[in-house]
Structures are given as C-alpha cells and as structure tokens.
Amino acid sequence: MQIAELRTPAMLIDTDRLAQNCAFMAHRAHTLGVRLRPHVKTHKVPEIGRMQVADHFGGITVSTMAEAKAFSAAGFSDITLAVPLDPRKASEAVALAVNVLVDSEEALAAVERVAGGCPRPRVWLKVDCGYGRAGVNPQTESAVRLASRIHASPSVDFAGLLTHGGHSYARIGSAAILDVAREERDAVVKFARRLRDHAIEVDEVSVGSTPTMMHVDHLEGVTEIRPGNYALFDGFQAQIGSCPRDWIAATVLVSVISVHADRAIVDAGALALSKDSGLGDAGYGVVIDLSGMAVANLSLVSLSQEHGKLMGDGVSQLRVGDRLRIIPNHSCLAVACFETIYGVRKGVVEHEWTPCRGW
Amino acid sequence: MQIAELRTPAMLIDTDRLAQNCAFMAHRAHTLGVRLRPHVKTHKVPEIGRMQVADHFGGITVSTMAEAKAFSAAGFSDITLAVPLDPRKASEAVALAVNVLVDSEEALAAVERVAGGCPRPRVWLKVDCGYGRAGVNPQTESAVRLASRIHASPSVDFAGLLTHGGHSYARIGSAAILDVAREERDAVVKFARRLRDHAIEVDEVSVGSTPTMMHVDHLEGVTEIRPGNYALFDGFQAQIGSCPRDWIAATVLVSVISVHADRAIVDAGALALSKDSGLGDAGYGVVIDLSGMAVANLSLVSLSQEHGKLMGDGVSQLRVGDRLRIIPNHSCLAVACFETIYGVRKGVVEHEWTPCRGW
C-alpha cells in the first residue's frame, strides 16, 4: 500500500530513519561504555522495542503497567517501570517480575508486603538530579536512610540508583543540555559513592533522557542509560538541538479539508497531534510535503479537537483534498493518539503497528 | 464496585450531574424554540448520546466518521458530521447516510460523484460566523454561489446553513459570550435571508457551541442547536462562565505516587488529562477530594507523559497512596485518553463505557 492510500489523519514512522536512530543510540551507548535500556513509552510497540534493544542486553524501560504487560507478552523479560510505583500496583508488578522504582517508605513497604517469591523483586531508588519531579533529594539524610532500608530489606533486591534529567527539555542548545547531562550523571554517581561510604552496595547507576544522552561527554560511574524519544525524535527535540530535523521519524499524514483566503484547515487536531506546543511561536508542528520537504510559509497556528489551522502565504497554494505531513512537536503524545501507526519506507506502507494503551 | 477499587488514573463521569446537564440543555432548547442536535464528540459514548437526545428528535452531531459509524451501529439514524468533509471520505459518508458539511466546490463535487441513491445526501453549507476556522465568509459572493450550487444540485439535498461560534471559548463572562452568541446567530440568520432573496430555499439554520448556547438571549431564525461539551462540562467552561463548577460531571481519579517537601506527583499526566492548559495560571486541572470538595492550596502545575506535579502548601498533607480527583481543563480531550470511562453515582461505579476512537 502507498501512503497516498491511507485514511487521514495517519501516523507514519519512517522505518529507515527509525533504524538509523536505533543504531545510532545503540552505538553511542557502547562508545560511552554503558548498557542501553531504552524507554519504549514513545511508541509502545514491541516490534520497535526490539529494534531499540538490538546489540544490547535486551532490557527496556516502560512508563505504565500496561506497557510492561504488553512487552512482557511479546517476550521482553527485563523491564523497569520507571515511574514511582503506585502501592496498589505492587502485587501485579511483582507478579510480572518488573523492576520497580520507589522514592518513599510507603511504596517500598507495599513491595515488601507482596514479595516472597524467588527471585526477589528488584527495587531501584529514584533520585532527583535537579529536575524537581519524582525522586529523593540525594543531599538529604532521608535519601540515605531509604537507600539503606531497601539495601537491608530481606524481601527485595536493591537494584541501584535511577535518575532522569528531564530538565534538559527546558534547555536549548548543546552547551545548555550538556550542563544538565553532567548534573544528571554527577548527582547519582556522587550519591552512589556516598552510599558506598555507608557500606551500601550500589550495583547499578541508571541515567537518561534523550537530550542528555545525545550530549553527555562521558558516563564514568554510570552503568546504563534509558533514553527513549530518540527512536522517533520530534519537532521539539530538533528545536532544542537534540537532533537534526531530518532525523525525525514520526510524521502525521493529513488532508486539507477547507481553504480560505487567509487560512486552511487540515483534519489533524488535538486528538491527532496533542496540544503540546513547541518553543516560542513554533506552533503545533512543522508542515512538510509528502516527500519530506518543508512547505514554505505555512504555520500550524492552532488546533481544536479535529481541526488544525494553517496560516501564512503558502495557503494560496493549497486545495481541498491535498495531502500534507506534519512533524509533531511531541511524538510520545502524538503516537498515543493513534490505534494503528504505519511503518513506511520510500512512500510504501510496510508495517502496521498497534501501540498499547492505558495503565 | 466502589470508586476506591478502581485502578488509576480513571475517568469518572458523575451520572446524576450528567443527567441534570442533559435535561437542562434539552429544556433550554425547547425554551429557545429550537431542536437539539447534540454534539457527541466530548464523550463518544452512544449511551450518553441517548441521554442527550431525550425529549428531542434524536439527531446528533459527530466530529469523525468513526463516531458516525459507532453511533449508527448503536441505532442513531440522523447524524451530521460537523467537520468539512474530506473528499476521500465522501463515499463512506454517503453510504452511511450521514449529513455532511462542505465549504468548497471540491468537497461538494466529491459528494455529487458518489451520490445517486435515494434519499439524496443531505449537504450543509458551513458558514464562518467570525471564529475564523472552517466555513465560507457569508459576506462574499462566492458564499452565495456555493449555496446556489448545492441548492441547484440534482444529486444532493441542500440541508441548510451551519455555523459554530467557537470564538466564544476566547471570551470570559456572560456579557462577552453573549456577544459571540449574537454574532453566531445573526451571521447565519442574515445569510439565510440573503440566500432566500436569491430564491435559494434554506430549510435549516444550525448554530451552537456550549458557551453560546448557555448564554444566547433568543434564537429567532435558527432551527437547531449543536452544543456538546455541556453534557460533561469541564474546568475551562467553568472558568469562562459557561457553568458553575459543581455542574462538571467529568473528573479523573488519581493516586499520589511521590511526595516531597515542595511537591507531590500523581499518576495522571498528559496521557490522562491532555496538555490543554487552562486560563492564566490555572494549571492543568483543579484538585478535589473523593467527595468532590476542593483541596486547598494544591495546584497541578505541570504534566509530563505519566506524571502530574502538584505544588502548594497542601502537599504537606499528602501521603503516597492517597487518592485525589482532578477536574480536567478540557473534558473532550481528557475523555479521549481513556479506553474505558466509568459512570459513577455517590461513589459507586454503575456503568463502564467505551468511547469510540480514531477517524
């Protein structure tokens, strides 16, 4: 099937680009001397996950129990759920042998209550390296106490320290992102040293976001990295400088459904692209043509549920029924809009993939 | 099942509130002397659609062919697809006997090409009443020409004029929204008069957004209205003054998964609430407790894919494992995040509904 035959809106994944991105990060991890445990939340498709783990140990990172179940069913066996564990989900996480992460006594206690089998559940301590989302503050005594509790627990294995430099998404350009990458690495490596000084063994030290892993200078003291978005990249990653724009593998095929003097409407709205806005006045995505070339003077200025509004001089070139493609600002949220996504190569649909969904 | 037993995040629909909202708008349409053709895109659930059409003629409005198919299969027979028709979908729209809307020669021609059966496809002319999205400009000669073309077409029926005062969402307060409501009404009523002066019969005149239909003073010259969001309402509608906050029927049940000195994290991120931000610094939703009371001093300040970040003095009262509810800014986008949504009454789950999806 040619992409021109697809119903719109449709999520297209350029499989050449995807393969190159996966190979790039796999190679980069080897160069940096770390294992790659890719995050799969960007696409939630086991087939793509297999491309990400090629040439590494096979472990992955997920953001929901639904992803853990789907990827486990597809044969993945070393899965880390990288969101602090909801205590109510402890028993199913343990039953599925998912590595969990905790940053509270309550979550640890919940895992201990349901543990008891062999092997023991592997528990990561989530560390905040400056992002200010989840994770213990590694400067505090309570962080050491919680690490000590996990380490001393008779019913769980202490996997190690895990952090996410998500504040890299608020930095623009290589130098600024490199600062965050160092902060991310140094925060956990230093904390691991401190724990070892307290006779707490720390086997693993896990870091990673796509921006920081594209820019970090070295990863001494780190054992694994968990970038995910890099498989597809997106408009935002290109804007902040994580990748060149032509590395982006995800685009949304759209139809022009209304053309007027000052604007045109396409059939991709917030339920196909998400409401994630780009930097500054970048709008809701970059308009390209079917061959991938940027379309001059067309901005996607607003989205409602099922309408995307284009403005700019380029509108005069459009006709109802024309096809365009939109580079989404945030591929993780855009892919999740679709029941089916299409792996395409040189304009031909080669794969139909079904992202998993829910929690 | 009690709501406390649900996995989180979970979309809860208060069925008492839903029933009251549906009855309110049905009654309001009678008072205004118009038929109610409710939009169902907010929830995409046939069971809720049936509550919306009670006491009216049974017609509905949809935003996608997927909704049209799901509601047709559930027994709805008078369905208007209120997004300009993608010419490539003309044949399936006609096969399903969906009323379509066009604002271009291209789309009209596409319908004519596939028409031929009996009854003839009903085609609405989409009019722009000042929103600046889809629709012909009623001041122009080309708008009259297109109306004339539809009216004279041997293969389709001219249903009438349809507009949407979506710019009401950019106005705050009754007076400002009433201005848009009058603009919406007057633009099509006047255009209908102009067409009749050209001997073009205009049977139906359709208007509607939830804010304008909550505020309009009269609807002389209008035959039907198409509000939709009112069934559930949401934080944004309350903010602009469409409804009191306690009319909102949709909330997202969440679990607290991480608590720190200055913040707490809940397990609802952009894939459960959407990235639609509210007005000003309203954040990504209003935090309430399980009984529906507002929780003081807690703001949902940011969302990433699966994390929602709460800040404010109220954080000190939270523990990992606590349950809260979030009033979404935009119920249409939040409901679409969920595979299943729950109809609840006084804390008990009475219904499990499956919104349709896709295009």
The pLDDT, as a whole number, for residue A281 is 79
Which residues on chain A are in Cβ contact (under 8 Å) with B170?
Answer: none
CA distance A247 to chain B (A): 22
CATH number of the domain that residue A327 is part of: 2.40.37.20
Residue B358 pLDDT class (50, 70, 90 cuts): very high
Task: Note whether A196 and A307 are same-domain residues.
Answer: no
Nearest to A161 by CA among A193, A118, A119, A113: A193
Report the residue of B3, B8, B88, B331 to disrupt the A interface, i.e. the one with the largest count of A CBs within 10 Å: B88
Residue B120 pLDDT class (50, 70, 90 cuts): very high
Contact B106 A64 (CB under 8 A): no
Q: Which of A232, A267, A289 is the last residue of a domain?
A: A232
Task: Note whether B214 and B155 are same-domain residues.
Answer: yes
Cis peptide before A9 (omega within 30 of 0): yes
Instruction: Report the relative pairing of strands A250-260 and A263-266 from DSSP bridges.
Output: antiparallel
| C-alpha Rg value of chain B to the nearest Å | 22
CB burial readout B161-182, b (16+ within 10 A) else e: bbbbbbbbbebeeeebbbbbbb
Contact A132 B358 (CB under 8 A): no
Burial of A179 (0-12, 13-18, 19+ CB in 10 A): middle
The pLDDT, as a whole number, for residue B279 is 86
Task: Note whether A28 and A115 are same-domain residues.
Answer: yes
Decide: A171 and A180 in contact? Cβ < 8 Å.
Answer: yes
Task: Note whether A164 and A217 are same-domain residues.
Answer: yes
Supply the ipTM of this predicted assembly. 0.97
Residue B299 has φ and ψ, to the nearest 5°, of -120, 140
- The answer to whether residue A237 is domain-embedded is no
- The answer to whether residue A24 is domain-embedded is yes
Residue of B nearest to A89 (CA): B7
Q: Which of B178, B208, B230 is the last residue of a domain?
A: B230
- Per residue in A216-245, pLDDT (tens digit) is 999 999 999 999 999 999 999 999 999 999
CATH number of the domain that residue B129 is part of: 3.20.20.10
The pLDDT, as a whole number, for residue B8 is 98
CA distance A141 to chain B (A): 14
Task: Note whether A215 and A261 are same-domain residues.
Answer: no
> What's the domain count of chain A?
2
Q: What is the mean pLDDT of residues B66-88?
A: 98
Report the residue of A320, A324, A341, A357 to disrupt the B interface, i.e. the one with the largest count of B CBs within 10 Å: A320
- Per residue in B318-350, pLDDT (tens digit) is 999 999 999 999 999 999 999 999 999 999 999
- The answer to whether residue A39 is domain-embedded is yes
- The answer to whether residue B358 is domain-embedded is no
CB burial readout A63-93, b (16+ within 10 A) else e: bbbbbbbbbbeeebeebbbbbbbbbbbbeeb
Q: Which of A200, A232, A264 is the last residue of a domain?
A: A232
Task: Note whether B65 and B199 are same-domain residues.
Answer: yes
> Residue for token digits 């003309």?
B90
- The answer to whether residue A113 is domain-embedded is yes
Residue A163 has φ and ψ, to the nearest 5°, of -140, 165
Dist CA A253 CA A267 (whole Å):
9
Which residues on chain B are in Cβ contact (under 8 Å) with A7?
Answer: 88-89, 359
Contact B84 A265 (CB under 8 A): yes
- The answer to whether residue B236 is domain-embedded is no
Task: Note whether B208 and B334 are same-domain residues.
Answer: no
Residue of B nearest to A105 (CA): B320
Task: Note whether A256 and A279 are same-domain residues.
Answer: yes
Dist CA B85 CA B96 (whole Å):
14
Half-sphere exposure of B339 (CA within 13 A, CB side): 11
Task: Note whether A165 and A312 are same-domain residues.
Answer: no
Dist CA A291 CA A325 (whole Å):
9
Task: Note whether A175 and A40 are same-domain residues.
Answer: yes
CA distance A212 to chain B (A): 17
- The answer to whether residue A359 is domain-embedded is no
What kind and span of H or E run contains A264? strand A263-266
Full domain range(s) for residue A142: 15-232
Q: Helices then strands (H, E): number in chain B?
A: 11, 17
Task: Note whether B257 and B146 are same-domain residues.
Answer: no
Task: Note whether B40 and B68 are same-domain residues.
Answer: yes
Three-state SS at A22: helix
Question: Among partner residues A134, A135, A305, which is closest to B332 by beta-carbon distance?
Answer: A305
- The answer to whether residue A293 is domain-embedded is yes
pLDDT reading at B117 higher than 80: no
Contact B9 A359 (CB under 8 A): yes
Residue of B nearest to A356 (CA): B339
The pLDDT, as a whole number, for residue A259 is 98
Which residues on chain A are in Cβ contact (under 8 Å) with B263?
Answer: 132-133
- Which residues of chain A are under the pLDDT cut of 50? none
The pLDDT, as a whole number, for residue B138 is 98
Residue of B nearest to A302 (CA): B133
Nearest to B243 by CA among B218, B211, B217: B211
